[in-house]
Structure formats: structure tokens, C-alpha cells
A and B are shown apart, each in its own frame.
Chain A
Amino acid sequence: MTIQATAGPVVEARDLVKHYKTGGETVEALRGVDFRVDSGDFVAIHGPSGSGKTTFLNMVGCIDKPTSGELLVYGQSTATMSEGKLATLRRDRIGLVFQVFNLIPVLSTYENIEYPLLLQGVPRRQRQERVRKLIEAVGLEKEHRRRPDKLSGGQRQRVALARALITETHLVLADEPTGNLDTETSKRILGIMQSLNENRDVAFVVVTHDPMVGGYAKRTLEICDGRLSRDDVAMPADRIRTEAS
């Protein structure tokens, strides 16, 4: 299934609030966040630990539900969606990348990337074609049969990125994607992301502590104490350019 870029915002959050209880105390993780991501955006979200960055990303990724507020993903309100519909939305329209890669250890590089297509029921030939192209795009041709434990950190993150993109989604959410990578590998991953952002209109929302990510982003947001405290648009001349892009 090919996902077409939408005319409107990819993500729109209105007055998003999230409270949760821990150790008998109520934590106000998000205190009314308004936010919008358009097709082709590259957003870096910064903020101190515990500021609500990951909670916010979980909301946008539909893996956690807000206490109040409205979240629209591709124009669809997620508030009343059943767990099954949310799973379908995540499967078809949202790509997720995690700090610790979160690959399925018993599957090879090829199979990890193929997995979302199997969930979608894509025919075998189409799967092979799409996985092969993406493996080439992230430069893992020689590693396609290896399982995650035989890959380096950078290779694993490229597999995770390919898995997030295989459904041809226009929204990829990444939580500290360079958190476990060295500088050179981080640059390579960010370069691939930038290339996909610019050439394929994929919107990236990246939660990070890594100041280098901001150099690749078109917008930089800061969350502090559960509130959006800054939303800067980067000038094209200020952005890092890579060979890949």
C-alpha cells in the first residue's frame, strides 16, 4: 500500500494533556501542548530529562493515550479509535525508531524490515522488491541475512529506520535515534533521514538530547515541564548538508 502525502497537517495536537500516576503521586507529564507537523517537516524536540519529550512522542505515535486534548493524525482523531484501529494506524501510517533499536532478535535484517509488510499482507514479490530497494538505500546489502546481534549499533539503527519506512509512511517518529551511536554513525543516520525528508517528503519528529540533530532539522522545539517553550524554524543556510541529501 502506498501512502500518499496529505494536503493538511500530518499531525495536529491541540491542548494535549497527559497525567499519570507513579508511586501514588500524579505526574503532569504534558500540560497542554499545541503542535503541528506538516508533510516534509523535520522537527527536533529538545528538553531536559523528565520534561515530557518521550511522553509527547508516545502520544503522537499512538502508543499512549492523552488524558485530554485532541490529537489528529493524518486528519483522523485518535481519541475514539479502538486499540485495533490504532494498531492499524501505527502499522500503515507511522514509522517508529527507538534509541535502543528494538529490533526483533530472532529475525534477520531482511526479515525485520519485511515484518510490517507481512502485517499488511503485502504479496511476496512486492515485499521482496520493496525490502531490497530499502536495504540498498540504507546500505545494508551485505548484512541482509544477519541477525541484530551480529550488527553494529549504526547498522541496527539503519535497519530500524528501514523498518519504519518500509510501509512508505510520511511520518517517522524517532526517540533518541543517535543516543547509542558514535558521532560518525550518527551523522550517517541523520544524513539518511535528511535525504528521505527532502527527496521523499517524509516528515520526521525526533526527540533528542543530541545537539547535532538540531543541525539537520527544519524546526527545533523545546519542551520544558510538559509545555512547549520554543518553536524555532531553521534557516536553510544554517542547516547541515550531507552528501546523502
Chain B
Amino acid sequence: MWLKLALRNVLRSPRRTALSLAIIALGTGMLFAVNGFVRYMNTGLMEGTIEQYGNLQIADADLWARAEDRDETLLDSARAAQAAAWLDEQPEVSGYASQLTFTSQIQRGSDTSLLFGIGVDPANRVLEGFEIVRGEDLQPGESGTIMIGRLLADNLEIVPGDYVTLLIATVGGSFNTGRLRVVGVFRAFEEIFESQFAYVPLTTAQMLLNTSSVDKIVVKLEEVDQTDTVAAALRTTLADSGLGLELRTWEELGTEYKQTKAMFDFILGAVSLGIFVLVFFSILEVLTMSFMERMREVGTIRAIGTKRKHVFRLFLTEGVVLGLIGGMIGIFVGLGLGALVNNSGVGWMPPGSVEEIPMLVALAPIGAIAPIVVAILSTLVSAVFPAMHASRLRVVDALRSS
């Protein structure tokens, strides 16, 4: 009964209702579009971070504690083999690979630059966080080769086929050099990755560092949302083993991801709050006017036995009905706005990225939940004040009003 009555009350003043619905729908639509953009960005950031770090990494606890002695942070073949055995037991693990990272100077002619090297097994590449733009990828079985980032290649004017020299300290602290052939140039999402990173075969990295060890095992899972479950299981195993191994997830490793996601979430929160306030005040005014016009009617229904709580519920239901209808219309408005943005070809440059990317809005149905909740909540809260007034009216006063 209350729903039917609320719905009819909402529709009794078509012009006012149309205005209210327009405000709610516009707010909801904007929120849906902004939410879609943020979700698109966060998903992209997440995928990029996982491509860079893997879902999980296992290493000696001292690696992330930045111990002075590099030798102590490495995983010898026994510890690496044990970690691999545990990973083989996890059905969620789709692949894993050892890495050996190093810091060096890259030199070509008289030009030098800082270089962060990553030794990988070309035959077992679990991460694909780059795209080759010149030359080719590292080949299994080859040694003495290197693949560098595009900005680094441009800065040092390096092309595939050129030779570069790496100046490096071994794990024992001795000075070492290596002459490597550039086989490929890659592009990546982040500027720092293109300007300072390079891939070499794992055997080459081990030769340069004069070690047979690796420093981490990068793990890829079938699904992203398996990360926490697998991490929890492996952490228990690692702690029980007493081998001094530690595990980190992609979220713990990707500090840039966390910062950028926090920024986007803040923007989304601010937009949501703004729209909440806008809808709240607009609908408060509309519902208050509606209440003022219906005081005698409120007096009548109270006089014939309607209880205060029912009058309160009636006004709240009117608010929710407005919010729900407006919110649903707003989703269609948001779909239109999103489609407009997606087809506009407008691009933007995310912080730290190399080149402009298209501005896109994710238009998945799940993105509609939060905007509709905001619409309903704001109209519900707007309705509380007039609903309280209506339910607290003295019947005799309400009946006297004109």
C-alpha cells in the first residue's frame, strides 16, 4: 500500500517530478561515467603492475630489507628448488620463473647511463610487461645479449645489432664488465621502465654478477583474485620452512599502483560526495515543498488512523522511489556519456607514462551499483527531514492548514 501511495504521490506533480528525476539522473549518470573511467584506469594499472611484478614474488627476506651484503640476499639453487617445489603444489599457479636483478652502468662510446638489469630465462618468460618495437626478443640458449627500453635506446642512440658495455659490481664486490649485443628495443607503460631498464638472459646476469644464484622467483597465477589465498597458503609454508624466504604480492610491490589508485579513489569519492550533496539539497527542497502542499492531506490520513511511523515511512518511500527511478534513468545517461567519451578519441597522459593513452570508460553493469546506491541514499536522507516533520505534525494543526 505504502509503495503504491508513494509512487502516486511522486507522480502527482509531473513537472516537479521531472525536475527531480533530471537532477538525480544527471548526477547518477555523471557518477557512473566517472566511476567507469576510474575502474578502467585501476584495472589497467593493476594489469600493468602484475605484468611488471607478477602476482607474487618469493625472495630472501633481506632482499626487500635492502641488506648491504648482496650475497646474503640471493637464493642458491637449493632454496630456489625448494620454493619451486612448493609452487608446483599450488594449482592456482600458472607459471613461475627465476630472476636476477642488478644495477649497473651502460656505456656506448663515451655515453653512459644508469641501468637496472633483469636477468630472465628467455625460455620461461612468465611476464609480458613490454612490447618489442625494434629488433627481437631474447632467444633461449643465447648468451651475451641485451634488450633495452626505447627511451634509453634513443638517449644513447642505440639500435639493434649495436654492442654496449655494462659496468657492474659482482656479488663479491669486485668490478666487472660485460660486452653485450643489443637484440631488441622495447616500449613499456611507464617512463622509468623505458629509460632505465633492460633485460638480459639469466645466464648472462649470473655471469656478470659472478654467481650461480637468483634473487627472486616471480609467480603468475591463473586469476588475480586468487592472489591473497595463494599468498596466505605460501606464507605459512615459507614461515614453517625456516629457510628465510619471504613472499610479497603485487599490491605490496607496486607502490606506484597503490598511490595512483588512492588518487583515483579520492577523485571518485570527491565526485560521489559532490553529487550526493547536490542531489540531497535539490531533493530536500522538492520534498519539503511537496510536504508543505500536503499538510492537510497528512492531517487527514493521521485523523483517520494512520500512525506516525507510517507517515514517516510514506515520505521516506517517496524519496527512495524518486532515487531509484532517477538512478535507473541516470545509468542510461551514464551509458550515453560513457559511449560519447569512448568514441570521442580523446586521449590523456597518465602520470609517469611514456605516451598518451585513449580516455576510456568501463561500462560494465557492476559499475551501476555505486551510483544507484548514492542516488537512493541521497534521496533517502533528503526525505528524512520532511518525513520527520510530517510524522510529528499535530493532527489538528495539519487539518487547519490550507
- Return B8 CB to nearest CB of chain A, in Å: 4
Looking at the assembled complex, report how far the CB atom of A59 sits from the nearest CB atom of chain B, in whole angstroms.
10
Q: How far is the CB of A101 from chain B (nearest CB, A)?
A: 9
What class of interface size applies to chain B in its complex with A? 20 to 34
Mask: chain A, 102-142; 1 = CB below 8 Å from B; 0 = not: 11111100000001101100000000000000000000000
Contact A104 B1 (CB under 8 A): no
User: Does chain B have a CB within 8 A of A87?
Assistant: yes
Among the 9-residue stretches B176-184, B272-280, B303-311, the one with 4 or more Cβ atoms under 8 Å from chain A is B303-311
Q: With A106-B8, A106-B9 as given contacts, are A87 and B307 in contact (CB-CB < 8 Å)?
A: yes
Chain A: interface size category: 20 to 34
B123 on interface, CB distance cutoff 8 Å:
no
Q: A63-B396, A64-B395 are in contact. Are A96 and B304 (CB under 8 A)?
A: yes
Chain A residue nearest to B5 (CB atoms) is A106
Taking the closest CB of chain B, its distance from the CB of A53, in whole angstroms, is 14
Query: Do residues A87 and B396 form an inter-chain contact, with CB atoms below 8 A?
Result: no
B388 within 8 A of A: no
The verdict on A90 contacting B305 (CB below 8 Å), with A102-B300, A105-B12, A106-B8 known, is: yes
B235 at the A interface (CB under 8 A): no
Q: Is B395's CB under 8 angstroms from A119's CB?
A: no
Q: Interface readout for B147-174 with A: 1 if CB under 8 Å, 0 if not?
A: 0000000000000000000000000000
Chain B interface main SS type: helix
**Contacts known (A63-B399, A106-B5); A92 close to B305, Cβ less than 8 A:** yes
- Within 8 Å by CB of A107, from B8, B304, B305, B395, lies B8
Kindly report which residue of chain B lies nearest to residue A93, judged by CB atoms: B305
How many angstroms from the CA of A218 to the CA of B82 in the assembled complex? 105
A113 to chain B, nearest CB (A): 11
Residue A52 at the chain B interface, CB threshold 8 Å: no
Q: Which of B9, B297, B396 contacts A58 (CB 8 A)?
A: B396
List B residues 289-343 near A (Cβ within 8 Å): 296-297, 299-308, 310
Binary per-residue interface labels of chain B (374-402) against chain A in the complex, 1 for a CB within 8 Å, 0 otherwise: 00000000000000000000111001000
- B interface vs A, CB < 8 Å? 1, 5, 8-9, 12, 296-297, 299-308, 310, 394-396, 399
Known: A64-B395, A88-B305, A118-B1. 12 other contacts (CB 8 A): A61-B303, A63-B395, A63-B399, A98-B300, A102-B300, A104-B297, A106-B9, A115-B301, A116-B304, A119-B304, A119-B306, A163-B304
Residues of A near any B CB (own CB < 8 A) = 58, 61, 63-64, 83-84, 87-88, 90-92, 96, 98, 102-107, 115-116, 118-119, 163-164
Subset of 21 A-B contacts with CB under 8 Å:
A58-B396, A63-B303, A83-B307, A83-B308, A84-B307, A87-B302, A87-B305, A87-B307, A90-B303, A90-B305, A92-B305, A96-B303, A102-B297, A102-B299, A104-B5, A106-B5, A106-B12, A115-B301, A116-B304, A116-B305, A118-B1
